[in-house]
């Protein structure tokens, strides 16, 4: 996020909101993979972050044990890897076997030399050692169907074939047993190597055959088609319809991505993220259901929202009349300036200072990410996988020496611990705000939104355990709000605790030197009587209200 952080004002006279939660308002079961991560060798995330053979806690593969321990304690259930844009030009076969024999290539996605020190097997071994289910992306840009077939045979087949025995020779006797396979990344994007932007039906035909072949190797897998990478593409949403019409028989899920970057300091636009994601999700569900109806298929496609983010970005240039066409130069690494710079040498011990939109307020980032994940929770019947970009870096901070919890750790962890059972749809009556439209560049723009509720809510009901967890956000950046929770439908339940997370200082951060600057705490002033809970939601706060059956 940008450096222009807004001033948080003190305002008296609290607004009031009401939220009703009832066990009959069921949405659908919650897949634990809804709160997962995404990994790509960008910056120091891989080289230096998860892997550094010079680190004092490196294991025999060069993987950092301090980072693995932190992720194990965090409990992230799954991770999508090895990318990302990098996969459209990556050859997995050049990343296996002895490191001294691996091939170094140009990574055109991020303009760096890819030495393949962390390769196919290391990625999968790292995920398993962290306690995460690996979800693998195959190259459907420059990659062939045959390459994908060899990849799953090497990865999942027990042995007795060339590729599966090669895995065993390389030191991985047991199959990696990867169950979720993504067929390409952002293939609608003109920034991809071998983009299918102009031929969605061709991409659909290719992945239909690829998915069929992968399932013939391992019938237990789930296959995921690459869908819209941003609703600003001129192909949206027709791209998804054209793709799915060609591959519906052999595809199980549709992958979506979106980054909601707004003008620096525009808090209304920043906090409009739930409304923007909601509109995108509803449109994509409608596209999936249209194809299902058109093909008269009994199968319902679900969604993997496996890249997302919210941040501030500096103003750029726009070209009127493009009608959503996104030129390469709009997409950071492909600007004329960046294309003229030399390729970067990878050094896991070199950590450049973070600048620009990726540096900013931990607190605002935590609220925004929690709001997006809450939107996923409210669509748990159709969204089964959600992956925060940077895998765990919205929650865990890493430098060359250390790993520690950032503020974003706590909402993410609360979802992992308490979002169990089925999702319930809250009825929310709240004061609202409006967000102006903006046009930073062709890649980051948005139309105006009206009547966005300050109070955002989600709920998880585990009837078997007798637990109800209500997740509550106050997006109001100027004042606290009084909230009444009507839970009279849960007779015999008692209030167990109200956990809140907030800070009056938008620049506050949990650092290695000061890890306890902002922590969640119990609110003992919250009351419960006659089936109603009364609480104060602080400005820009995250709240978890837990009830248990007596």
Active-site amino acid positions: 186, 307
Residues 6+ apart with CB under 8 A from 321: none
Give the DSSP letter of residue 46. T
Cα 251 to Cα 210: distance, rounded to the nearest angstrom: 10
Residue 24 exposed, middle or buried by CB count within 10 Å (0-12, 13-18, 19+):
exposed
The neighbour count for residue 178, using CB atoms within 10 Å, is: 19
Triad 393, 252, 75: Cα angle to 5°: 30
3 state DSSP class of 543: strand
Name the nearest CA neighbour of 446 among 194, 213, 278, 212: 278
Tally of residues, the chain: 550
Residues 6+ apart with CB under 8 A from 174: none
3 state DSSP class of 480: coil
Q: What are phi and psi of 186, to 5 degrees?
A: 50, 50
Contact present, 223 and 211 (Cβ < 8 Å): yes
Burial 206-244 (b: 16+ CB within 10 A, else e): bbbebbeebbebbeebbbbbbbbbbbbbebbbebbbbbb
> Tokens 């390769």 map to which residue?
119
Residues 6+ apart with CB under 8 A from 400: 44, 48, 52, 349, 351
Residue 140 exposed, middle or buried by CB count within 10 Å (0-12, 13-18, 19+):
buried
DSSP labels for 334-383? GSHHHHTSPPBPP-TT--PPP-GGGSS-HHHHHHHHHHHHHHHHTTTTTE
**Which pair of tokens denotes residue 19?**
């939220």
Cα 316 to Cα 355: distance, rounded to the nearest angstrom: 16
Element (H, E) at 288: helix 273-295
3 state DSSP class of 496: strand
Name the nearest CA neighbour of 546 among 500, 497, 501: 497
């Amino acid at each position: 996020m940008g450096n222009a952080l807004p001033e948080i004002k003190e305002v008296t006279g609290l607004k009031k909101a009401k939220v009703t939660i009832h066990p009959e308002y069921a949405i659908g079961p919650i897949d634990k993979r809804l709160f997962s991560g995404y990994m790509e060798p960008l910056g120091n995330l891989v080289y230096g972050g998860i892997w550094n053979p010079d680190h004092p806690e490196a294991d025999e593969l060069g993987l950092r044990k301090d980072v693995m321990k932190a992720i194990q304690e965090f409990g992230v259930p799954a991770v999508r890897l090895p990318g990302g844009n990098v996969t459209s030009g990556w050859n997995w076969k050049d990343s296996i076997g002895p490191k001294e024999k691996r091939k170094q290539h140009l990574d055109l996605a991020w303009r760096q030399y890819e030495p393949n020190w962390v390769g196919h097997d290391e990625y999968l071994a790292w995920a398993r050692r962290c306690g995460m289910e690996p979800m693998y992306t195959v190259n459907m840009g420059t990659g062939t169907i045959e390459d994908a077939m060899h990849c799953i045979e090497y990865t999942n087949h027990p042995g007795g074939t060339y590729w599966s025995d090669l895995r065993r020779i390389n030191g991985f006797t047991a199959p990696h047993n990867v169950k979720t396979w993504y067929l390409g990344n952002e293939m609608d994007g003109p920034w991809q190597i071998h983009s299918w932007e102009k031929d969605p039906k061709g991409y659909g035909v290719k992945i239909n055959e690829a998915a069929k072949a992968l399932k013939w190797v391992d019938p237990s897998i789930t296959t995921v088609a690459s869908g819209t990478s941003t609703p600003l593409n001129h192909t949206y949403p027709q791209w998804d319809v054209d793709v799915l019409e060609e591959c519906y028989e052999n595809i199980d899920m549709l992958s979506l991505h979106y980054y909601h970057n707004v003008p620096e300091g525009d808090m209304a636009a920043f906090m409009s993220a739930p409304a923007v994601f909601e509109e995108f999700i509803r449109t994509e569900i409608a596209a999936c259901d249209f194809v299902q109806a058109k093909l008269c298929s009994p199968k319902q496609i679900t969604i993997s929202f496996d890249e997302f983010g919210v941040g501030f970005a500096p103003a750029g240039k726009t070209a009127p009349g493009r009608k959503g066409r996104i030129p390469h130069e709009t997409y950071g690494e492909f600007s004329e300036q960046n294309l003229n710079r030399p390729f970067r040498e990878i050094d896991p011990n070199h950590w450049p200072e973070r600048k620009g939109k990726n540096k900013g307020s931990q607190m605002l980032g935590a609220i925004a990410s929690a709001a997006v994940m809450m939107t996923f929770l409210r669509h748990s019947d159709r969204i089964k996988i959600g992956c925060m970009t940077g895998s765990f870096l919205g929650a865990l901070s890493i430098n060359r020496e250390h790993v520690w919890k950032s503020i974003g750790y706590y909402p993410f962890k609360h979802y992992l611990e308490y979002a169990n059972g089925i999702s319930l749809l809250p009825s929310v009556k709240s004061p609202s705000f409006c967000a102006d439209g903006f046009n930073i560049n062709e890649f980051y723009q948005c139309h105006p939104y009206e009547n966005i509720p300050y109070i955002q809510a989600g709920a998880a009901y585990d009837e078997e355990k007798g637990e109800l967890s209500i997740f509550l956000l106050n997006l109001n950046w100027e004042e606290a709000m009084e909230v009444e929770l009507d839970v009279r439908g849960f007779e015999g339940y008692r209030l167990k605790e109200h956990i809140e997370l907030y800070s009056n200082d938008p620049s506050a951060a949990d650092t290695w030197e000061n890890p306890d600057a902002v922590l969640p705490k119990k609110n003992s002033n919250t009351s419960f009587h006659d089936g109603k809970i009364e609480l104060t939601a602080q400005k820009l706060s995250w709240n978890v209200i837990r009830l248990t059956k007596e």
